[in-house]
Chains A and B, each alone.
Chain A
Amino acid sequence: MRIALFATCLADTLFPEAAKATVRLLERLGHEVVFPFDQTCCGQMHVNTGFQRDAVPLVKRYVSTFDPFDVIVAPSGSCVGSIRHQHAMVAADAGEAGLAARAEDVGRRTYELSELLIDVLQVEDVGARYPHRVTYHPTCHSLRMIRVGDKPLRLLRRVRGLELVELPAAEQCCGFGGTFSVKNAETSAAMLADKMTAIVSTGASVCTAGDASCLMHLGGGLSRRDAGVRTVHLAEILAST
């Protein structure tokens, strides 16, 4: 299958390993990956910070860049959530009904990685090997905005050598929330502290998730605390052999 990759601005710039792993994994499974260079950012930061109008050109850019593809994947539940649930609204609010309809359509063809693997490619065992004790944090937007459910867990359970340990209070937010972590830095830090305590209590050496953004926040905290737990994007675990 020919799959277009939306790397997301964050992975492209700061976490290229997550995007590279997505490519490696899909190619290993026998698919063709395309990276359209015109892509930049889904505009979620603008919409969620109250600059919805500034996001209109970004929605246009996303739609025109990815409209030619039947299947699009992004290694980020949060960006997929924004594409699926916010793009059409942003376009409609700007009075662009045509763009809204196209955005809705492209949104339906945009998948988060675990959705692509299980729902579209119908594979649970991706042939990975990762001999570590791992705990999984279900990020809020993957969990409640696009509802990936237990798909990431199903994929992780099939990884050889991987010992999956349950995260206490897993469904509580890690406190990132995009610009929330800047505007309400102290509240965010308090939420992060509780999440880190939960992660450390599992005895895992790796904490994984489907969102580079939450992992950046968690990883930044764990590094500061010197907790001895690494954060690794789900795609990297699934791509390793």
Chain B
Amino acid sequence: MSTFLGMPATAPRGVGHLRGDEPFPAAAHRALADEQLRNNLRHATTTIRGKSGRVIAELPDWQELRSAGSAIKADVLSRLPDLLEELEARVVERGGVVHWAADANEANRIVTELVRATGSERVIKVKSMATQEIALNEALEAAGIQPVETDLAELIVQLGQDKPSHILVPAIHRNRSEIREIFLKAMPGVDPALTDDPPVLAAAARKYLRETFLSTKVAISGANFGVAETGTLAVVESEGNGRMCLTLPDTLITVMGIEKVVPTWQDLEVFLQLLPRASTGERMNPYTTMWTGVTPGDGPQDFHLVLLDNGRSAVLADPRGRTALHCIRCSACLNVCPVYERTGGHAYGSVYPGPIGAVLSPQLTGVEDNASLPFASSLCGACFDACPVKIDIPSMLVHLRNQAPHPRSERAAMRAAAYTMERPKLYARAQRAAKLARIAGRRGLGLPLGWNEARDLPEIPEQTFRDWWASR
């Protein structure tokens, strides 16, 4: 018997890529030791930051656009069920089929069965965070279907049997000589004389992908936006490989997170300005592909839309946390984050790394399952300023920290500190005791050793301020 307690379910365990194998500090430890990785990251994030900053500065109404984006998203979340039903009705009217997937297991099963029904043993894929989140590639492979990523960076990750480390630039942690090695080892039909010259590498990928595009009958995509009033789906990208997938095959299956719906076509105007400038630093993304159901004689003749929840309803149920669903996956917050810049994406354990990952992943899985992530931030606030839809990530981190389980010793120390600070006389005595403890050679401040490894503790002064004031 199922007991519905009124609380929507979080993303299930054992499937998908939302949970890491180890806590953030342990995973960060390895990344921090990797000099090459840190150089790759610093170089890439600094470059994107600069480019993005320049094109954003060109728009006089950037702050108004951010507010508009945020307001549209808030409106969407306030009437999500209605908008999704509207989207469903319009897609069906135009000859598409809509499937509802409560979680990763259900979505993977639906997509796998749809591909099986076509008889195809290979699918081409448009870069999509939703399908990574649910580990669709792994599910397809288990069913004997070969998924081929067609986004260049995603292909590099796939061929390298690696994990993506950035929302937008999944191979950001790789440099070109590493990419050459990966191609030589894993790309079918690659020229053994391959060099690490970027145009040469791109040409090799193009040749391989062209053949694959022309010989594969099924494509799987995500969606950046789904327009409720018309049933139109939209994918924005830079390479055009996505457009090949979205237009050439007979069957197109789109997996869309339920928060990606927008009410009207007009709303796209706001996001199509915000997204490219914030994410790649382009004024306009080079390819915007939109399709509405099925158009006889043009494009895929069989279209399926899979609407994915996988914990999103649980996020929506938390009024303080729900703005994480505003996210348009532009990755601006990653590029400005000083923690991400040093640790890279793998340290976060989830397909959603960086600041947004630190708030979204624990919400999708339940905070217990990603308990170290809300602490993987210095709360510097750079992400909030960068976010094109104004998600107050620092406040949300604090909110989630208050839901996270705490080690017993930490709880005791915090309680003791609060108890003392509630009582000014006791507090003044504790200040003096701290000095005595220091003189006695103990770690009077109770700071764990990690601190002392890189920094000297300040000398405890002769006299506290309050004693000085009293003696004036």
Task: Return chain B residues, CB-CB under 8 Å to A221.
Answer: 454-456
In the complex, chain A residues whose CB is within 8 Å of the CB of B404: 50
CB distance from B178 to the nearest CB of A (A): 22
Q: Given the interface contacts A48-B398, A223-B456, does A54 sit within 8 Å of B24 by beta carbon?
A: no
A189 at the interface (CB under 8 A from B): yes
Known contacts A13-B464, A14-B458, A144-B385; decide if A57 and B418 are in contact (CB<8 Å): yes
Name the segment of A37-45, A95-103, A127-135, A157-165 touching the other chain.
A37-45
* Interface flag for A217 (CB, 8 Å): yes
A186 and B417 contacting across the interface, CB-CB below 8 Å: no
Are A46 and B381 touching (Cβ within 8 A)? no
Contacts A180-B378, A220-B458 given: A35-B402 contact, CB under 8 Å? no
Give the contacting residue for A12; candidates B338, B385, B431; CB below 8 A.
Answer: B431
Chain A residues within an 8 Å CB radius of B414: 45-46, 49, 51, 54
Q: Which residues on the A side are within 8 Å of B377 (C-beta)? A: 177, 180
CB neighbours of A121 from chain B (8 A): none
Compute how far the CA of A113 lies from the CA of B207 in the bound complex, rounded to whole angstroms.
63
Complex-state Cα separation, A38 to B381, whole angstroms: 31
List residues of A (208-222) whose CB comes within 8 Å of B's CBs.
216-217, 219-221
Name the distance in Å between B349's Cβ and chain A's nearest Cβ. Answer: 14
Residues facing A in B338-390 (CB within 8 A) are 338-339, 342-343, 374-382, 384-385
Instruction: Give the residue of B32, B401, B453, B464 whose beta carbon is less than 8 angstroms from that of A187.
Output: B32
Q: Which of B434-458 contact A (CB under 8 A)?
A: 434, 447-448, 450-451, 453-458
Q: Are A144 and B402 in contact (CB under 8 A)?
A: no
Annotate A201-241 by CB proximity to B: 1 below 8 A, 0 otherwise: 00000000000000011011101100000000000000000
Contact A177 B380, CB 8 Å, known A7-B465, A184-B24? yes
Residues in B neighbouring A31, C-beta threshold 8 A = none
* Cβ-neighbour of B380 out of A173, A182, A223 (below 8 A): A173
Q: A193 — which chain B residues lie within 8 A by C-beta?
A: 454
A123 at the interface (CB under 8 A from B): no
Task: Give CA–CA (A141, B24) in the complex, Å.
Answer: 24
- Kindly provide the distance from the CB of B418 to the nearest chain A CB, expressed in whole angstroms: 4
A200 on interface, CB distance cutoff 8 Å: no
Q: How far is the CB of A203 from chain B (nearest CB, A)?
A: 22
Q: Find chain B residues with CB under 8 A from A179 CB.
A: 375
B206 is an interface residue with CB less than 8 A from chain A: no
Is the Cβ of A182 less than 8 Å from the Cβ of B450? yes
Looking at the assembled complex, report how far the CB atom of A225 sits from the nearest CB atom of chain B, in whole angstroms: 9
* Interchain CA distance A19-B466 in the complex, whole Å: 10
- Return the chain A residue nearest B449 by Cβ: A185
CA distance A4 to B141 in the complex (A): 68
Q: How far is the CA of A57 from the CA of B415 in the complex (A)?
A: 12
CA distance A41 to B431 in the complex (A): 12
B319 vs chain A, min Cβ distance (A): 11
B398 touches A183 (CB 8 A): no
Set A16, A49, A54, A224: member contacting B468, Cβ < 8 A: A16
Question: Known contacts A141-B381, A173-B380, A184-B376; is A40 also within 8 Å of B427 by CB?
Answer: yes
Using Cβ atoms and an 8 Å threshold, which residues of chain B touch A54?
414-415, 418
State the CA gap A72–B343 with chains docked (Å): 40
- Residues of A in contact with B, size category: 35 or more
CB distance from B30 to the nearest CB of A (A): 10
List residues of chain B with CB within 8 A of the CB of A144: 380-382, 384-385
Is A52's CB within 8 Å of the partner chain B? yes
A37 touches B465 (CB 8 A): no
Please provide the chain A residues from 131 to 188 with a CB less than 8 Å away from any CB of chain B in the complex: 140-141, 143-145, 171-173, 175-188
A13, B451: Cβ atoms under 8 Å? no
A19 to B469: give the CA distance in the assembly, Å. 10
CA distance A16 to B423 in the complex (A): 20
The answer to whether B460 and A14 touch across the interface, beta carbons within 8 angstroms, is yes
Contact in complex: A50, B402 (CB < 8 Å): yes
Q: How far is the CB of B456 from chain A (nearest CB, A)?
A: 4
Shortest B431–chain A CB gap in Å is 5
How distant is the Cα of A223 from the Cα of B455 in the complex, in angstroms? 7
Is A118 an interface position by the 8 A CB rule? no
Counting CB contacts under 8 A, is A29 at the interface? no
Beta-carbon contact of A176 and B453 below 8 Å = no
Other-chain residue from A16, A46, A55, A143 in contact with B465 (beta carbon distance below 8 A):
A16
With a 10 A CB-CB cut-off, give which of B24, B32, B375 has the most chain A CB atoms: B375
Q: B421 and A41: CB pair below 8 A?
A: yes
**Which residues of chain A are within 8 angstroms of B375 by Cβ–Cβ distance?**
50, 179-180, 183-184
Separation of A51 and B469 alpha carbons in the complex (Å): 31
Whether B418 contacts A58 by the Cβ 8 Å rule is yes
The answer to whether residues A55 and B398 also contact, given A177-B378, A190-B32 and a CB cut-off of 8 A, is no
* Chain A residues numbered 43-71 whose CB sits less than 8 Å from any CB in chain B: 43, 45-55, 57-58, 61
Distance of A219 Cα from B415 Cα, bound (Å): 29
Q: Given A182-B450, A186-B25 in contact, is the A48-B379 Cβ separation under 8 Å?
A: yes
CA of A54 to CA of B381, assembled, Å: 24
Q: What is the bound-complex CA distance between A50 and B456, given in angstroms?
A: 26
- Whether A14 lies near B461 (C-beta < 8 A) is yes
**Are the C-beta atoms of B406 and A184 separated by less than 8 Å?**
no
- CB pair A220–B455 under 8 Å, yes or no, is yes
- The distance in angstroms between the C-alpha atoms of A155 and B16, with both chains bound, is 54
B465 and A50 form a contact (CB under 8 A) = no
The verdict on B43 contacting chain A, using a C-beta distance below 8 Å, is no
Complex contact B24–A40 (CB within 8 A): no
Q: Which residues of A sit under 8 angstroms from B470, Cβ to Cβ? A: 37
Known: A48-B401, A144-B385, A190-B342. A184 touches B25 (CB 8 A): yes
Contact residues in A for B188 (Cβ distance below 8 Å): none
A109: chain B residues at CB < 8 Å are none
Residue of chain B at shortest CB distance from A231: B458
Could you jot down 13 A-B contacts, CB within 8 Å?
Answer: A12-B464, A39-B424, A40-B424, A40-B427, A45-B414, A46-B417, A50-B404, A175-B338, A177-B377, A177-B380, A187-B32, A220-B456, A221-B455
Q: Please name 8 further chain A to chain B contacts, defined as beta carbons within 8 Å, in addition to the given A14-B460, A185-B451, sorted by A numbering.
A: A20-B468, A37-B466, A45-B417, A51-B411, A140-B382, A141-B379, A186-B450, A220-B454
Which 5 residue pairs are nearest across A and B when measured between Cβ atoms?
A177-B378, A185-B450, A220-B455, A50-B401, A173-B380
Q: Residues of A at under 8 Å CB distance from B?
A: 7, 9, 11-17, 19-20, 23, 35, 37-41, 43, 45-55, 57-58, 61, 86, 140-141, 143-145, 171-173, 175-193, 216-217, 219-221, 223-224
